[in-house]
Every structure is written in C-alpha cells, then in structure tokens.
Structure 1
C-alpha cells in the first residue's frame, strides 16, 4: 500500500499541481522559491496540525479572484430567491457560488495490492469493484458556512471599503475550517465525510524533519536536540525493555529512600514552625511530609545529556554542543528515522505504511557525507523488512541526486506563470526509447558529476578547461548581474553537448551553449583555419543549433538562427574586419586581445608563445599560435594575470542574451 500521487490546490505556490510519488524515496528538487517547502507544509498542516495553523496568506494569490466570482454568484443566487425562481434553479445557483469559493485542498491517491490488509483502509474505499485497487482521501480547508460569510460581509462591507478580500483576510478564522472526506476517484460527487482524523493513523503515520533544526555548536546549547532524541527512544521502548527499565526504577527507589531521610532533617524546623502557625486563633494545620518521587521518564527529561569521547580515554568527554554541526545534524536525522520506525513498529494495530518528509538533509554536511547519508538511509529502510515507508526529500544537493538517479526525481519548474511539476522517471522512459545511448550517457554523467542544473536559474554549457577557469572573470567583465544568479556551469565538451538537448528542454531553464566553430577541410576532414575550411565537425552546430554544417551558412546566422526557445548557442564570429574568424576560444582570445598581448605580458606560457610578435602579427597568425599551446590550463592561468583583457565577441553576445530577463 502506498500514496501513488498527490494533488494540491490553492496552497501558496501550489495553485494546482499533481506529483507522482516514488514507491520508496521521492526527491523534490528545483530552484529557490519554487514551492518545494510548500509541499511539506501542506502535508504537515493537514496531517500533523489538523489544519489548525493555516493562515490567510497560505491561500494562493492566484485564487483570490475566485472570491469576487463567488460573491457575484451569491448575489445572483439571492436574486433568484427574491424572484422566487423554481426550486431546482435556486439549488443550482446555490451550488455554483459555494463551489466557486476557493479553499486549500490536498488529495491523497492511495493504491494497494490484493494481498494488503485492508482493515484500516476499508473505511475510505468507496467502490465495490474487485478490479480496482485505489482509494482517495481528500482534505480541505475551506469556508464552512458560505451563506453566513457573505451575509456578514454585506453587513460590514463599508468597514472594509467594500473589499471581500480585505474582509476575509481579517475574519477568515471565523469562517474557515478543516474537513476530510473519503472520495470515489472515478465519481468524485460520491463522498463520505471523515468525522475522526485519528482514523487515518490506522492507515498511515506521517513524520517530519524540517530544515530549521536549530542545532547549536555554541557553548550555550539550549536546544540539546540529540539528547532529546534519546529521551524519545526511551519512551518508545520502555514497555519492551522491561528488565532494563526495572533496574533503573530500583536504583531510583534507593535514591528516593536516602533522600527522604535527608529531607526530614532538612525541613524539620520548617514543619515545626508551620505546626505552630495560627494555633492561638484556632487554626489546626494537617501534618505534612515531603517525599522524593522519581519517575524514570521525567528524570530523563532534561537530565539525559549526550557527550562525545575525545581521544581514547573515557575520562575526556565533551558535551554535544562541542561537536560540529555536520555530525550533529547527521546524528539527529538518524535518531529521527529510528524514532519514526519505533513509533510505527510499536503501534497496535500497526498502520499499513508510513510517510516521512525530510527537508534539506544536506544542511551542514560536506559533499561526501551527503552522498553517504542518502545511501545509508536507503540501506536502513531496506534492513527493516517489516517497515513499509515512503520518504519525500526536498534537497539542493547535487550529491544526493547523483546517488538517487532519474526515477526518484520530481522537478519543480516555476519558470512559467504557474508551477509545473515534472517527473524525471517519465523523461527517462521516453529517452530510453528514443536514444538509449544518450540516456546511458546522462545517467553516467549524473552519477559522476555535479547535477546542480536542477537548482539553477540559468545554465551555461562550455567546451573545456580554459572556458571553465575564465568564465567567472568574463561574466564579471561583461554581465556582472549574472553573479547574483545561480548559474550552473557545465563542462561537457563539444562532442557531447548535444546529448543534453532533451534534458535542457525538459528543465526549461535559460541555457547558453558556448562552443567552437571547429572548421575542417572538405578534402580530408582535418582541422584547419576557418578561411581554408568548408564545414564544421561540431555536433551541436550540425544537429542542434543552428542545425547547419557549412561554414558559410554558420557565419551568416542571425540571433534568431542561434536561438531555440530558452536555449542559445554562441560560437566564434569575426572580431574585426582586419582579422579572420577564429576556430577556437584560444585564437579568438588572441585576436581580441592582440593589443594587450603585444605589450610583453607576464606569465609562463604566453611570453614563450608570442615572443616579440607585434599586434598585427598576432592577429594574422592567431590560429597557428593557438595550435602551439601545450597546456591550456597554464594559458588560462596566464590570462588571469592580465588586467585589461577583453572578452571575445561571441561570448560577450551570448552572456548578454543570457543576462537579459
């Protein structure tokens, strides 16, 4: 049994979205402010807080016009009553204005197998079809008495400048409530209201680990989250580990007896004074006694502290606040997972499954620890053979993604007016059929490289080392505004960049491809100067953008020829009329900066390459000079030492396009 998909309506950025959940672990990824946290929050507010903590601001701004629509329909309904229209027409108009009122909705589509125990779920199954294996549970935070809402507004609207939005914002708590229904997914007019939310706990339990975990590595650690985690473990296991608990209670009883004797001596004079108080006025106080009462769970609360052993000696123990945030965070999350399992395993009867949400587990974890975390969590879950659990993780970690693969990823795309949630497992299936070799390459790339394109505001694909080292400097020179964006720079090489085409279109992120013209001779297909060449060997230019092979065609391409949707290609163009078109970045850089390089610049590679060449000589022989570069990395480092160099025209044009919103 599992939650197969979730539909959320009118909650913050989630105006109307559906997300397919993976059977085990779902990774929710996307740019900042794309709605990832909202998914966790809507579950928490309905399942953990039972809807009591919704605010008016939680209702999607995009749904606010529906209040005006509903009010207009309400007035039509009132007119129909005043005009004594037929009853059927009044009922229809009443239903219309009530349906128009926006509310926050969460639909859980549950699927089960024939062998599953349906005892708990049977309450929510709305059909008798033996071939169906589904149930739909609907939560809604909405107006409980629509007519009362509008009649109250009519009486008070002058106080709110006739604004229905202003009225509801001020008074929403009076009119909104949380309700839940079992719904027939194939006939959603057929519903039964769920009176007790606690009935859901027999179907599944939910758990939440939030990004703001308030871990503290300072001296004054007021949170002691890890120690509290051990206290929780005690509470969940005190009935199971009876022998251990009995020994603890016996020890506490011995302490209690000794303390009682000390208390009697300590408070003897106090009791003596109390017994004499008011005797002459006829007040006869009862005799008092003080006894120490120790309960194990209360003793543990606030008195169980976690320490770290420093070195080999157990005498050197440091408090938990002295450990780094990374380890504290990791231990805390593991403790939470263990507690969730213990809660699930100890509950009688045991729920059918459990749903756990983890926000940004990578907080404070270095990359290797992030990779190990997701790997070990999977192994921990698999080791619990009787634990039926789904985990939903929101993350910005490329390392967690690399360990998880395509099928688990749900991508939140907020580039359009309305958020769209994309399922990368569907993309993988499609690409496996269309281009299995390309899909195999993407999987391998994701496993071995940073996958931060899933979180990027913009993406730049580059050819090699020189561009990767110099691109941040070039951005700072020509489009510094890009430095405030999350720009993912991906080194792919000219021969493989075209394999990213479908993935980039799927992600729908503005992308610049910086590549080389790669001219070759018609006779032998060997690399040559552009002026001597006939066509390009570059796969991107030939098969993707601008889908041209002849150099003559490529050199006359317009801006629109180089652009397709949110993707643009940039390759070498003529820097000035006195020079030939360059073939690669290196000779384009030499042509663009001949005036700088002729002035005896410093460095390790450039002085040896150029010697005493003049500016004109460098321009005319840039291709040949570039061919002599043995170490492109050393060449890039030499460029970094220059102070007044200029960015080649084709890259400048591409970055300008990328920065343009």
Structure 2
C-alpha cells in the first residue's frame, strides 16, 4: 500500500488543495514559502503518533474571508488516501492495518484517514454570536484566538468521514513516520550511546550474526543470545569486583564523611554496589571515524554533511528495528515512512547524488516504504525522474501544484527529451518564480545585463534565464501549459530568433540562412520560411506563456539585432571578433549622411560580402537607413564567434553600465523585442 493522495484544507498556505503522491520517492520542490515543509507537516499530523496534534492560530489559512468566518468556525482538514500498491500481497499486514478505514473494497482497495481540527458543535452558537457584529477580519481572528482556540479539538477519522469513526490508535501506530527537519543537531541526536536512537540500533544489531541466521530456530537463537548475555554479565561482575577491591580503602574514607554528617542512621549505611548489562554499557560508546591510515577521530570532529549522512543511515537502521516483528512482536511497525527536509544541507553535489542513490536503494530493499524529500537543490532534481517530482508554486498567496511526470502523459517523446536535458542548470526553471527560456549562451549571459539597462533586476524578481540549447522550447513548455491540469503554474517568456531561410525551387534543394533584406526577393527562384517557434504559443491564447522575437521584416538573430539597434556603438566590437577595423569604420560612417555605395566600398572582397551588396541593392522596398543598418549588422554577425563574443560583450556592457552618470558612459539601446519580453515577464 502507499499514500496516493493528500487533500489539505485551510492549513497554512494551503486553502484547498489535492496533491497526488507516488509509490516510492516523492521529491517536493519549489521556491521559498511555496509550502514544501507545510506539506510534510500535514502528513505528520495524520501519521506521526508521537507528534504534536494541537495547532495554533497561525496554522489556519488566513485567506479565509470575514463572511466565511462569520458563517462557520474555521476548520483544518487533512484527508489522506491509502491505496493498494501494484503487485501487493493481500496476505500481508498492509490490508489488515487499514481494514477498518476502507472506502473502496474492490482492487485496488482504498482507505482514508482524515485529521480534523475544529470547534465542537456545542460551541458554535456562542461563536456565531461573538462574531456577528465584527467588521474587521483581523479582529475576527483575534477573537478566535482569545476566546475559542482553547476549545478546539482534533480527531483522526478512519474511513468515510460521514460515519465519524475515530481511527484506532493501535492501527495508527503501525505507521512509522520519521521526519528529519532542516534544523537538526545530529551530534546531539546520534553520537553517544546515551541517545536512544543509537542505543536502540546497537541493541537490535548486537549478536546480529545469530539473529539473522536462518539455519537456527527462534528457540535456538534465544538460547545462544542468553548464553552470550550471561557470559558478558559474568565478565562484567568480575570487573566490578576488581573495581570494588581497588576502591575498598577509599570507599571507607568517603563513607566516613557520610557518618559524620549524619547520613547514617537507624543502622543504615550508604555503600556502593552495582551491576552492568551489555545494553547499559552502550552509554560508554561513542561514534568514531576510522580512516584507512588507521587514524581514529570522534564523529564530533566530522563536517556537518558527513554526520548528516551517518545520522540518516542510523535512522533507517532504527526503522528496520521498528518494523521487525520477530524483535518487537505485535508492536512492530508495518509502514515505515521517511521524510527529509533539505537533505542537501552541508552536502556537496557528489554527496547529494550519493544520498539519492542510498535512499532509492533503501526503498528497493523495502527498509522504507515511501520517501518524501523537500529540496532547493538542482543537483537532486537533475538526478531523480520527472515522475518523482511534485512542484509547488506560490503566486500572490495562492499555492498551485504541478506534476512534471504526469504532464507528459500523452507525449513520451518530449518527456524523454526533458528528462535527458534537465540537468542541474536547466532544473533552475522548476525553482524560479518566473522563467525566460532562450536559445543559446549569448542570450543567457546578456539578458540579465540588458534588464539592468532597463532598470530591472532579474534576481530581485526571482527570474531565471534558462538556455535550452536551440529551438527546443516546445518540449519544455509542456511543463507549463495551463491547458493541462497537471502543469506547473509559472510565467514563462521565450526569446527566439526569426532566422529567415530560403531554398532553391530546384529538386533536392535544402533551406539555408538568408538575410532579412533577401527574404521574399526572388520568389520565382526560392522558397522562404522563418522560425516556426514564434507561432507555437500565440500571445493572446495563453495567460502564462509568451514568445518574443525580432521584427518580422528586419530581424534575424540576437547578435544581428544588437547592432541593428546600435549601428554606431563601437563598444560592441570585441577583441575576439574578426574584421574589427572594418566594422568600426562602418560604424563611424553611420553618423554621417553618406551614400550606401561608400559603405559597400569599405567591405573587403569576399563571396559573402558580394552577396550582401547585391541583395541590398536588389531590395527596392527598404529605405536607405534600413539598408545601412542591415549591412553593418550583417558584417558584424559574420565576424563573431558566439561563445567567446558573448562573454566579452557581457563584460563590456556591465562595465559600461557601472559608468552610468559619468562622461565615459556610452548609450546602449536594448532591442525592442527584448524590452517587450522583460516588460511582460516582470508584470
């Protein structure tokens, strides 16, 4: 069995939300305050037998309106559906555990547990009278806190809630819910044998060679372990006797003070005596780390990340102890659940990957049945499958849930593509508040700097720029297309190049790049097309997705448009470019009233430059100014090496921006389509 669904009503940031859960690993991701920890705590309210069940006023969702508060006392409800797993053995203890909570008898069976924190019915009339004249919602909450919260009660119902059947505590205790929160002191919790976690684990695994030997009968195992315990006790008694002999004279001296103070009376005298068992001696043990060289150091001297891993391994060992029926009898747990908040704390990327492998192996070995992990780590999300992710997103106080695996239900091709390319860098799209998808490294490096020229900070607006490595937006946009109920609710801007192309109409011709001023010129000889990505998601058809590209007539690529909007800005000519002097000469000429032929004379002789001149002169629909800009932009584009040039441009533009307000600052114009994209994404 497994927890297949949890419905959370009026708890913290969840107004009314149903969340689908996986049988196995569940990785819960999202930006800060999206509700990741609250989801884990909601699970704990139902399943953690040792956890706090009473709530306070701040656990209620505060978006409940005044009218709702007046009509009925606020109630927190968490309903959990437990479902039969695939290939589950119906003779196991699973079905027995949930038998009284069944809501569906046919396979796969389903059972329900519901936690409620509510005001008893007898107090409702008094509550309504107290809030009848209240006109302010904050005052209503104060009245609830001061006059009624202490009267609230909690119940955990089993089965159909309409039957009001309280779930029996013995069955609830069969769930072993272990939660490691983000703020944990592993040194306090595990490193000494005085701690119950380490002591219980040591006690269970002591004499494990006997306990795990399937060739012995239970009776034989008990007999052999008793012999070992007796042998230890005899040896311990001898040690204590030796200690007593060594203390004999000293003891008389110590006790003489007791006699003098009157501690001895009525013929009774204080003395020293004791026995020690193997379990009691655990308090003398301390966890150490022994290196290959033979050096031993206390675990307290380890880094926090290393100790976190040790602690998790001990906790899973403890869960194995708890579920062992031979050891605990009828007190054994049936369903161990591990919840970890931010396991990446203090772990470098390689150790995060190792941790995920470790948890997956424990699930496969059935040492834990279901795992819940909350994380901010892109390393972890790049390791797990899309089916194991749950994405929480909070927009203006409203929490939404997305499922990267389910969203691709009818598109296996895109699912495989995204799974393959969702590396640690691209995974940032799952955490950011808003996302800009771009085609290449140049846009990724330069977009945040251009935003700064417009007075916008991507960091302050929690916007991530993700390079998808080409025209592959469609695969990723499935994640965010809100026409799918499982999509991630997030605002996405895509920036793509127009990339005009043409091909000869002769048989076997193929498309090749062309210049904007060539587009449509010779329709008798060529077929033309532009990047179709721009039309994938029409601007008015989707509230959260928009695609931006250059001007349909004059646009070509990102670098081309840079110079199209800044035809005289020599700052854009970087050291890695070819033809630097030629391009700077063209740029200097732009500010003067010069004929097109003079620009053409600057171009060195080459087949490509000949093509540029012929095409520009053939175009009769463009004005001179358009042609000059197109010529300079074409020459610039043909002279850049994209990766290195982008790095240099990022440096010079950032440096120029730092000079703003001084005589050294040079005016830079952000291309129009980039302005539109930035303006749209920050709205």
**TM-score (normalised: structure 2):** 0.76
Matches within 5 A, 1:606-645: 607=580, 610=583, 612-615=585-588, 616=590, 619-629=629-639, 631-642=641-652, 643-644=655-656
Matches within 5 A, 1:496-511: 496-505=472-481, 506-511=487-492
The residue number in structure 2 matching 1:274 is: 258
Residue ranges of structure 2 left out of the alignment (5+ in a row): 212-224, 482-486, 506-510, 521-527, 591-598, 600-627, 657-665
* Structure 1 residue 12 displacement after superposition: 0.3
CA contact (8 A) 1:512 1:654 kept: no
The residue number in structure 1 matching 2:151 is: 175
Residue ranges of structure 1 left out of the alignment (5+ in a row): 71-99, 216-220, 547-559, 575-579
Please give the alpha-carbon distance, in whole angstroms, between the structure 2 residues aligned to 1:383 and 1:232. 21
The residue number in structure 1 matching 2:317 is: 338
With 354-363 and 168-177 compared, the bigger mean Cα shift is at 168-177
* Structure 1 residue 565 displacement after superposition: 1.3
The residue number in structure 1 matching 2:245 is: 261
The residue number in structure 1 matching 2:493 is: 512
Q: Give the secondary structure class of the aligned counterpart of 2:34.
A: coil
The residue number in structure 1 matching 2:514 is: 528
Q: 1:650 to 1:244 in 2, by over 3 A?
A: farther
* Structure 1 residue 370 displacement after superposition: 1.9
Q: 1:120 to 1:510 in 2, by over 3 A?
A: closer
Matches within 5 A, 1:253-652: 253-277=237-261, 284=266, 286-301=268-283, 303-310=284-291, 312-314=292-294, 316-345=295-324, 346-349=327-330, 350-384=332-366, 387=367, 389-415=369-395, 418-432=398-412, 437-446=413-422, 450-505=426-481, 506-521=487-502, 523=504, 525-534=511-520, 536-541=529-534, 543-546=535-538, 564-573=542-551, 581-597=554-570, 607=580, 610=583, 612-615=585-588, 616=590, 619-629=629-639, 631-642=641-652, 643-644=655-656, 646=668, 648-650=670-672, 652=674
Q: Deviations over 1:195-237 (max 9, x none)?
A: x4233123x221112222235xxxxx76665875543411444
* Structure 1 residue 292 displacement after superposition: 4.4
* Structure 1 residue 457 displacement after superposition: 0.7
Please give the alpha-carbon distance, in whole angstroms, between the structure 2 residues aligned to 1:583 and 1:335. 59
Q: Give the secondary structure class of the aligned counterpart of 1:639.
A: helix
Q: 1:462 to 1:226 in 2, by over 3 A?
A: farther
Q: 1:266 to 1:595 in 2, by over 3 A?
A: farther
The residue number in structure 2 matching 1:7 is: 7
Q: 1:651 to 1:367 in 2, by over 3 A?
A: farther
Please give the alpha-carbon distance, in whole angstroms, between the structure 1 residues aligned to 2:501 and 2:133. 77
Please give the alpha-carbon distance, in whole angstroms, between the structure 2 residues aligned to 1:15 and 1:107. 13
**Which of these residues, 123, 142, 157, is aligned with residue 100 of structure 2?**
123
With 438-447 and 150-159 compared, the bigger mean Cα shift is at 150-159
Please give the alpha-carbon distance, in whole angstroms, between the structure 2 residues aligned to 1:160 and 1:497. 50
Please give the alpha-carbon distance, in whole angstroms, between the structure 1 residues aligned to 2:550 and 2:372. 45
CA contact (8 A) 2:191 2:300 kept: no
The residue number in structure 2 matching 1:191 is: 164
**Which of these residues, 69, 73, 77, is aligned with residue 105 of structure 1?**
77
Q: 1:130 to 1:640 in 2, by over 3 A?
A: closer
* Structure 1 residue 180 displacement after superposition: 1.7
Please give the alpha-carbon distance, in whole angstroms, between the structure 2 residues aligned to 1:367 and 1:278. 66
Q: Give the secondary structure class of the aligned counterpart of 2:74.
A: coil
CA contact (8 A) 2:572 2:649 kept: no
Q: 1:108 to 1:146 in 2, by over 3 A?
A: same
Within the alignment, does 1:208 sit opposite 2:197 as a pair? no
Q: 1:473 to 1:389 in 2, by over 3 A?
A: same
* Structure 1 residue 583 displacement after superposition: 1.1
Q: Give the secondary structure class of the aligned counterpart of 1:564.
A: coil
CA contact (8 A) 1:105 1:139 kept: yes
CA contact (8 A) 1:107 1:137 kept: yes
CA contact (8 A) 1:362 1:395 kept: yes
Q: 1:465 to 1:111 in 2, by over 3 A?
A: closer
CA contact (8 A) 2:576 2:640 kept: no
Please give the alpha-carbon distance, in whole angstroms, between the structure 2 residues aligned to 1:601 and 1:581. 24
Q: 1:619 to 1:290 in 2, by over 3 A?
A: same
Q: 1:362 to 1:124 in 2, by over 3 A?
A: same
CA contact (8 A) 2:80 2:112 kept: yes
Q: 1:373 to 1:18 in 2, by over 3 A?
A: same
Matches within 5 A, 1:227-246: 230-238=198-206, 242=225
Q: 1:246 to 1:466 in 2, by over 3 A?
A: farther
Please give the alpha-carbon distance, in whole angstroms, between the structure 1 residues aligned to 2:240 and 2:5. 55
Q: 1:428 to 1:652 in 2, by over 3 A?
A: closer
Q: 1:621 to 1:63 in 2, by over 3 A?
A: same
Q: Give the secondary structure class of the aligned counterpart of 1:583.
A: coil
Q: Give the secondary structure class of the aligned counterpart of 1:267.
A: helix
- Aligned pair count? 589
With 245-254 and 100-109 compared, the bigger mean Cα shift is at 245-254
Please give the alpha-carbon distance, in whole angstroms, between the structure 2 residues aligned to 1:108 and 1:362. 28
Please give the alpha-carbon distance, in whole angstroms, between the structure 2 residues aligned to 1:159 and 1:278. 69
Please give the alpha-carbon distance, in whole angstroms, between the structure 1 residues aligned to 2:123 and 2:464. 53
* Structure 1 residue 273 displacement after superposition: 3.8
* Structure 1 residue 38 displacement after superposition: 0.4
Please give the alpha-carbon distance, in whole angstroms, between the structure 2 residues aligned to 1:175 and 1:327. 46
* Structure 1 residue 597 displacement after superposition: 0.9
Please give the alpha-carbon distance, in whole angstroms, between the structure 1 residues aligned to 2:180 and 2:647. 45
* Structure 1 residue 632 displacement after superposition: 1.3
The residue number in structure 2 matching 1:90 is: none
The residue number in structure 2 matching 1:84 is: none
Q: Give the secondary structure class of the aligned counterpart of 2:387.
A: coil
The residue number in structure 1 matching 2:593 is: none
Q: Deviations over 1:328-371 (max 9, x none)?
A: 22222222222222222244234442222121212222223222
* Structure 1 residue 11 displacement after superposition: 0.9
With 240-249 and 290-299 compared, the bigger mean Cα shift is at 240-249
CA contact (8 A) 2:434 2:463 kept: yes
Q: Give the secondary structure class of the aligned counterpart of 1:507.
A: coil
Please give the alpha-carbon distance, in whole angstroms, between the structure 1 residues aligned to 2:400 and 2:35. 10
* Structure 1 residue 15 displacement after superposition: 2.0
With 486-495 and 154-163 compared, the bigger mean Cα shift is at 154-163
Please give the alpha-carbon distance, in whole angstroms, between the structure 2 residues aligned to 1:123 and 1:572. 64
The residue number in structure 2 matching 1:218 is: none
CA contact (8 A) 1:598 1:614 kept: no
**TM-score (normalised: structure 1):** 0.79
With 480-489 and 643-652 compared, the bigger mean Cα shift is at 643-652
* Structure 1 residue 398 displacement after superposition: 2.6
